[in-house]
Amino acid sequence: MSFDLPLVFALLMGAAVLAYVVLDGYDLGVGMLMPAASDEEQDVMVASIGPFWDANETWLVLGVGILLIAFPAAHGYILGELYLPVAAMLVGLMLRGVAFELRVKAVGWHADLWNWLFWFGSFLATFAQGFMLGRYLTAFLPGWGYFLFSLMVGAALCGGYVLLGATWLVLRTEGALQKKAMAWTRWGLLWVALGVALVSLGTPMVSELVYARWFDFPETLALMLLPAASAAAWAWVWRALGRSDWQPFAGAVAIFVLAFAGLAYSVFPYVVLGWLTIWEAAAHPSALKVVLAGALIVLPFLVGYTVFAYRVFRGKAKAGLYGK
């Protein structure tokens, strides 16, 4: 049996990026919600993500690693164009990691400083990721209009991660903090609705390729199912608040999965929009075969560990695990 190796690696890279966005997205969202909570609630919030946040970033490493090894020509071009926002994202992730550990050891104003840096690192990493997505959708073209569009995508992603973080807290906390998380979820839903609407209006304006994909009737009529399903998931999250602990988070994940499906439809088969397809950017088939063999060995362990960790640390979070 023969495989279309570039297509296989594109699917693997897409799956890794989606896993990162969902898994690290909720703990970045929790970080951005920290200033809205009391000191005691912050300890519970940190405990809810403590066993998972570091491992969640493994999926980002996997996605970028696949881009480097399987699509080296695209990797060099994309990372060259996104050098500064990538650096900003890494600074944000490092700040968050350091603050996560030191906030529990600091006292007085030092503790407040590290809590603030935890928030700032989460915000900076999230906004940089959204900005990079915006630049990717504009094919890295220069101009203030494209720059402003990228800023808008960054702000929209912040709202999306806040929604994921709030619904995660609905799932993992109880009492007064859970009630706050329900209110944050409603605000997150409104933010996401506005962000998705603005980005959806702006994307075909900044990309001729996306415009052609979205408005190629009647072939794209089936694409209308995605916004309809997203609206249904949005309504499901709103309705599930106060009725279920797990359904809001599941609905928020569904919104991201549907948005990712729409993005994949819009850009496929390009890995650099309008310039390089996955087949043009792919490494030599012999190299892809070797890498695929290694991936098939590593991936089951990565997935298995993730499932195991979430099973072991399931249930409601309690202060003290990472508290003072």
**173-215 per-position pLDDT tens digit:** 999 999 999 999 999 999 999 999 999 899 988 888 888 888 8
- Please tell me the predicted confidence (pLDDT) of residue 235: 96
- Band (216; pLDDT cuts 50, 70, 90): confident
H-only helix segments in 207-224? 208-214
Token code pair at residue 187: 């605000």
Bridge partners (DSSP) listed for residue 272 = 276
Q: What is the pLDDT of residues 50-99, one digit of tens each?
A: 888 888 888 988 898 888 899 998 988 998 999 999 999 999 999 998 88
CB 20 within 8 A of CB 85: no
Q: Does the pLDDT value for residue 1 go beyond 70?
A: no
What is the pLDDT at residue 34? Answer: 92
pLDDT tens digit sequence for 128-177: 999 999 999 999 999 999 999 999 999 999 999 999 999 999 999 999 99
- pLDDT, position 320: 65
- pLDDT (average), residues 288-297: 89
Question: In the chain, where are the structural domains located?
Answer: 5-312
- Higher-pLDDT residue of 106 and 318 is 318
pLDDT band at 108 (very low <50, low <70, confident <90, very high): confident
Count the alpha carbons within 13 Å of 278 in the hemisphere toward its beta carbon: 19
% of the chain exceeding 70 in pLDDT:
98
Please report which helix (H) or strand (E) contains residue 68, including its range: helix 58-70
Q: Residue 3 — very low, low, confident or very high, per pLDDT cuts 50/70/90?
A: low
pLDDT bracket for residue 322 (50, 70, 90): low
Share of the chain above pLDDT 90, in %: 60
